[in-house]
Amino acid sequence: MRKRILITGATGYLGSSLVHDLISDYDLTVLKRRSSNTFRISSLLPQLTCLDIEDVDFSKLFKTQLFSGVIHCATNYGRDEHDLDDTIEANLILPLRLLKNAFESKLEFFINTDTVLDKRISYYSLSKAQFKDWFVFFSNKIKSINVELEHFYGRGDDPSKFVSKIVNDLVSNNVKSIDLTLGEQKRSFIYIDDVVQAFRLILQEIPNLKDGFSSFQVASKHHISIRNFVVLAKELCGNTKTQLNFGALPYRKNEVMEVVVDLTRLEKLGWSEKTTIRQGLLETINFEKTKLKNHSQ
C-alpha cells in the first residue's frame, strides 16, 4: 500500500524536486499558500492533492486524512530583515503546528528540512535552530527526522539564491562586475539530484529507524572556497568580460569560514555523492544558457 505524505514547500525548488521524484511511489498531498506559483509542479497537479494553507483546519485535516508522515520543506530565508514575521511564521510557527497535529494524530514520522548554518548567522538560521529545539523536545511522541542541508543548487533554482545569481550574471555576459567578499569561506556545495536521493533513502529507512530524534547531514565531501567556486563558474560559463571584485564586500557578522559536516549516517544508508562540482555547475549553466536563448528568440 502506498504511503500518503503531506509535504510543505512543494512549490519551491527543493520541495518541487522532491515531488517530481516521489510521486511515482507515494500519494502526495501538497500544503501551499493560496498565492503560491505552481509552475514547478504544474505537470503533476492532476496527480496531487493541493490544499491552500489559509483554508485548512489542521486538526480536521490530520484526523480525516490517513497520512503516514510529513515532509516539511517550506522555508523563508529571511533575506529581507523587514519580513521577520514571515520568517518566524514559516520556519517556526508553521512547523510547530504541523508537528503538534502530526503526533496527536499518531503519524509515523515527521521529516524537517534544516540547515547546517550556525544559528548566529541570520534570522533564517536562528529560527531553524529554534524549531529544532522544539523538534527534539517532542521527539518522544513521533519519529523525528532532521535533515540538515549545506548549500544546495542546480538547474532552475530560485534566481535570488547565491549560486543562481552568480551563474545568471556570468551567463548573460553583460554584467561588468560582481562584488564579493574575499571568498575564503569553504563550503560543501551539493547538487540538487544528490539531495533528492538522500531524502528518498531516508524515507525508505524510516521503518528501521529507532523511535525518537534522528539527524542526517547532506553535503558534499569536497569543500571548496567560495572564491574558487565562483572562479570555476566563470570559467565554465566562458565569460571573459565580468570582473570579480573579491574583497569588495565585508564578511557577515559571525561568518563561518568552514562548515564541518558528518555524512556517516547518510552513507550507511548507501548514499554517495554522484555529481561533482564541475558537473553540477555545467548542468546549471547549460540550463540557464538554454533559458536565455529561448527568451531571446
CATH number of the structural domain spanning residue 278: 3.90.25.10
Domain membership of residue 123 as a residue range: 1-149
Neighbours of 27 (CB within 10 A): 18
* Pairing assessment for the beta strands 69-72 and 4-8 based on DSSP bridges: parallel
Which CB contacts under 8 angstroms, 24+ apart, belong to 28-33?
Answer: 28/4, 29/4, 29/5, 29/65, 29/67, 31/6, 31/7, 31/56, 31/74, 32/8
Indicate whether 210 belongs to any domain: no
Q: What does the pLDDT read at residue 39?
A: 95
Please report how many Cα atoms fall inside a 13 Å half-sphere around the Cα of residue 228, on the Cβ side: 12
Q: SS3 of 67, please?
A: coil
Of 159, 169, 218, nearest to 189 by C-alpha is: 218
Q: Give the model confidence (pLDDT) of 135-170 as tens digits.
A: 999 999 999 999 999 999 999 999 989 999 999 999
Q: Mark whether 1 and 105 lie in a shared domain.
A: yes
* Pairing assessment for the beta strands 190-191 and 152-153 based on DSSP bridges: parallel
Q: Mark whether 164 and 135 lie in a shared domain.
A: no
Neighbours of 114 (CB within 10 A): 23
Q: Mark whether 161 and 143 lie in a shared domain.
A: no
Asked if 101 and 94 touch (Cβ cutoff 8 Å), the reply is no
Please report how many Cα atoms fall inside a 13 Å half-sphere around the Cα of residue 146, on the Cβ side: 21
Q: Give the model confidence (pLDDT) of 87-96 as tens digits.
A: 999 999 999 9
Q: Mark whether 243 and 290 lie in a shared domain.
A: yes
Give the pLDDT band (50/70/90) at residue 211: very high
Indicate whether 180 belongs to any domain: yes
Given a cut of 70, whether residue 82 has pLDDT beyond it is no
Q: Can you tell me the distance from the alpha carbon of 39 to that of 136, in angstroms, rounded to the nearest whole number?
A: 35
Q: What does the pLDDT read at residue 208?
A: 96
Q: Give the model confidence (pLDDT) of 95-141 as tens digits.
A: 999 999 999 999 999 999 999 988 888 889 999 999 999 999 999 99
Asked if 260 and 219 touch (Cβ cutoff 8 Å), the reply is no
Given a cut of 80, whether residue 78 has pLDDT beyond it is no
Q: Mark whether 36 and 70 lie in a shared domain.
A: yes
Mean pLDDT in the chain? 94
Indicate whether 203 belongs to any domain: no
Indicate whether 208 belongs to any domain: no
Give the pLDDT band (50/70/90) at residue 287: very high
Q: Mark whether 18 and 84 lie in a shared domain.
A: yes
Q: Give the model confidence (pLDDT) of 224-267 as tens digits.
A: 999 999 999 999 999 999 999 999 999 988 898 998 999 999 99
Domain boundary among 149, 175, 201: 149
Q: Mark whether 162 and 287 lie in a shared domain.
A: yes
Cell of 271: 548514499
Q: Mark whether 105 and 177 lie in a shared domain.
A: no
Q: Give the model confidence (pLDDT) of 181-194 as tens digits.
A: 999 999 999 999 99
Region 29-44: what's the mean pLDDT? 95
CA 111 to chain centre: 13
Alpha helices in 42-83 (DSSP H): 58-64
On whether the pTM is more than 0.85, the answer is: yes
Alpha helices in the chain (DSSP H): 13-22, 58-64, 84-88, 94-104, 123-137, 162-172, 192-205, 226-237, 264-267, 277-296
Indicate whether 120 belongs to any domain: yes
Q: Mark whether 175 and 117 lie in a shared domain.
A: no
Q: How many domains does the chain have?
A: 2
CATH value at residue 27:
3.40.50.720
Q: What does the pLDDT read at residue 117?
A: 86
Q: Mark whether 119 and 178 lie in a shared domain.
A: no
